[in-house]
Amino acid sequence: MSPRLRHLTTLENLPRETIERLLDRAEALRDACAHGTRKLDVLVGRTVLNLFFEPSTRTRTSFELAARRLGADVINFDIGLSSTSKGEELFDTLHTLEAMHMDAIIVRHKQSGTPDELVRHAMSGVSVINAGDGNHAHPTQGLLDALTIRQHRPDFENLSVVICGDIKHSRVARSDINALSTLGVKEIRLCGPAELMPTTEDVPQGRRVDDFDQAIKDADAVIMLRLQKERMASIDLPDEAAYFTHFGLDRRRLALAAKGCLVMHPGPINRGIEIASDIADGAQSRILEQVGNGVFVRMAVLNEVLAR
Ligand code: ASP
């Protein structure tokens, strides 16, 4: 059996067995807490800290819900009201919070590598979970996307999955690619404007397909990504209307995919830029299912790193 995780900062190089264990546990926890209506007591007496240096709706809320459903106490650290805004060094903030005996720190930061830095500096008892760092990794999103696909199409060895949009700046794309390739997905196709595609050195996996009509042909799942303008300082933003024409998901394009193709997006979605409203809200959309699965995946991860 693969060893239990102490921290989760990336899915890169995680054994398939570990990823499958987390997905299986997410499903078991979903059933055990009756889809969220019953609270469990596996983490009673444990304290989880949400340390978010970048905005978040889904991830922060679902980590909080996940921890509470397992019986843990949750502290939401408000950066705006904290000494960090007075210039306190990150590691001083870390040690201050550790001195109050946190069991897990869930961190989101604009700088890639911050969660790994915290792991190197953290005291021995604390677990660090990455809730998104720069364009590097968003491991719980990678897991929840894999779970969402698995619930509809467990036959990963037959699947073609398209990831479309601003892949260069996307930590979600990197973690999705790690999860899906480890789980044996037949083909991952990457599509987006040339200036928003990662180099093969940066992201070696995935077949690059420039034209979205070609990329989506017979695909079983399509993961659309947000244009991450906040990470695009030195890039000319694509004109939004032209972007939608070339890389937006609409009814005509979805018809080129395999029947029942799963439509996914990590959110927040920009309607009419990456995805047409009728498709985001349509019968094939799994976007809200992704959100729901996020809670169970985060419960599984907290349970993995914290349960005694
Ligand atoms: N919510 C995801 C993230 O934090 C995707 C996005 O922001 O576009 O990476």
Q: Where are the domains of the chain?
A: 16-137+291-306, 139-286
Say which residue, 18 or 36, is predicted with more confidence: 18
Does the Cβ of 76 fall within 6 Å of ligand 1?
Answer: no
Task: Give the nearest ligand 1 atom to 108 CA.
Answer: 4
List pLDDT tens digits, range 104-162: 999 999 999 999 999 998 887 899 999 999 999 999 999 999 999 999 999 999 999 99
Q: DSSP assignment, residue 195?
A: G
Per the prediction, the chain carries an average pLDDT of: 94
Asked if residue 87 has pLDDT above 70, the reply is no
**249: nearest Cα among 229, 228, 222:** 222
List pLDDT tens digits, range 187-208: 999 999 999 999 999 999 999 9
Does the Cβ of 228 fall within 6 Å of ligand 1?
Answer: yes
CATH of the domain spanning 139-286, picked from 3.40.50.150, 1.20.140.10, 3.40.50.2300, 3.40.50.1370: 3.40.50.1370
Asked if residue 237 has pLDDT above 80, the reply is no
Task: Give the nearest ligand 1 atom to 131 CA.
Answer: 4
Task: Give the nearest ligand 1 atom to 172 CA.
Answer: 9
CA of 56 to the centre of ligand 1 (A): 8
Q: Which residue has the tokens 């599509």?
A: 191
Asked if residue 97 has pLDDT above 90, the reply is no
Q: Which residue has the tokens 């239990």?
A: 4
**Given this structure, which CATH class describes domain 16-137+291-306?**
alpha beta
Q: Is the CB of residue 215 less than 8 Å from the CB of residue 191?
A: yes
- What is the token pair recorded at 155? 């036959």
Q: DSSP assignment, residue 237?
A: P
pLDDT of residue 55: 86
Task: Give the nearest ligand 1 atom to 225 CA.
Answer: 8
The rounded distance, in Å, linking the Cα atoms of 33 and 53 is 30
Share of the chain above pLDDT 70, in %: 97
CA of 44 to the centre of ligand 1 (A): 30
pTM of the model: 0.96
pLDDT-derived band at 81 (thresholds 50, 70, 90) equals low
162 in helix, strand or coil?
strand
Share of the chain above pLDDT 90, in %: 81
pLDDT-derived band at 90 (thresholds 50, 70, 90) equals confident
- Angle of the 90-98 helix axis to the 114-121 helix axis, nearest 10: 50
Does the Cβ of 60 fall within 6 Å of ligand 1?
Answer: no
The rounded distance, in Å, linking the Cα atoms of 283 and 151 is 16
Does the Cβ of 174 fall within 6 Å of ligand 1?
Answer: no
CA of 12 to the centre of ligand 1 (A): 18
User: Is 108 labelled a binding residue?
Assistant: yes
Asked if residue 265 has pLDDT above 70, the reply is yes
Is 139-286 in the same CATH topology as 16-137+291-306?
yes
CA atoms within 13 A on the CB side of 296: 28
